Every structure is written in C-alpha cells, then in structure tokens.
Amino acid sequence: MNTSDKQLIKAHDLSFQPYLLAETITERIKEIGIALTQNYADKKPLLIAVLNGSFVFAADLMRVCDMDCEISFVKLSSYAGTGSTGKVTDIIGLDEDLKGRDVIIVEDIIDSGKTMVHFLAKLKEREPGSIAIVTLLLKPDVFKDQFEVDHVGFEIPNKFVIGYGLDYDGLGRNLADIYQLHQP
C-alpha cells in the first residue's frame, strides 16, 4: 500500500489522504472472484448490489467471476454527510423472484451493520436458497457482529473513506483509489 506519492484531495469542505491504491483493490477483488467462482461453480447466483456505493465494486467483481451469474440492484440509505443517520431507508427494491435462489449481496462497506440487518430481514422473507455477503470494506471496530460476512476485501479502521464508488455527499465516487479522511 505505497501511497506516499499520492497527494491529499478535497471533497466539499474536507481533505482526504490516500489509503488503498487501485492496484491493491484490483488484486483483492480477483481473489474474492476466484473464491466465488469455486463456491458457485455449478450454480447461477444472483448478485444483489447495494447502491449507490457498491456499483464500481459489483461491476469489477462480476467481471472476474468465471461462472454464470446475474445481477440486480437495491438502493438503501443510512448516511448523511460523513455519518450514519441510524435509520435505513429503502429507495429502490428488487423485482426478481428469489425463492430458492442463491443470492450474493455485494456491499461497498459495512460498519455498524444496521443497514445489512435491515436488508437481510427483508431478503429472508423472500425465501432465497442461500445468502452470502461480500463487502469490499469492513470496519471491525464498529461492526456489531449480528450476521456473518462471507468475504471481506479489507478491514479498515473506523475512519470515513471515499473513492472507488464511495462518496462524501456525492463527491469522490469516481476516484480509482480509496482515500481516508485526513485528520492532521
């Protein structure tokens, strides 16, 4: 993770420092893709990407999975600015029939886990055959451990991050690297 040659960036009123380089992210996604390909070799799972943050991760992950799979999207919201509101809002839902299907939830980041607990409860009502959770980032210091995360890209400290699909009030999603809030 050599980020010393990268500079601070600004998004709105905050500065962010380099944290994970695109090359490091790409390599880890390939490893997760290999594991998923092995786990679902004889199946056709449905990947459910949680918008907006996971769209970049979901696209890259799906491309490295060497298996038959489909993708759908849900939009859940629990953040405003740099913090969680504590309330999960469903904005876009699923149209697919999930009964008996193998489902892989693709999330950008799991911190407290409240959003995922909310979504898992709704998902289980639709009787999928199995549910696996894949997240690019996990904050173990705040994760409430109420469910199992099957594949984690990176465990990170409880600091706000942007880039690679993650944003600060709409900015930063287009960055190839992941940046962490700079606190001098």
CA trace torsion 139, 143, 147, 149 (10° rounding) = 10
User: How many Cβ atoms are within 10 Å of 92's Cβ, its own excluded?
Assistant: 13
Do the Cβ atoms of 157 and 183 come closer than 8 Å? no
Start-to-end CA span in the chain (Å): 20
Question: For residue 12, what is the DSSP state?
Answer: T
Nearest to 74 by CA among 64, 89, 85: 89
Q: Which of 60, 102, 108, 111 is catalytic?
A: 111
Distance in angstroms (rounded) separating the CA atoms of residues 69 and 134: 15
Annotation says 95 is catalytic: no
Angle at 47 between CA 89 and CA 145, to 5 degrees: 60
Q: Show the tokens assigned to 135.
A: 């997240």
Point out the residues that are catalytic.
Answer: 111
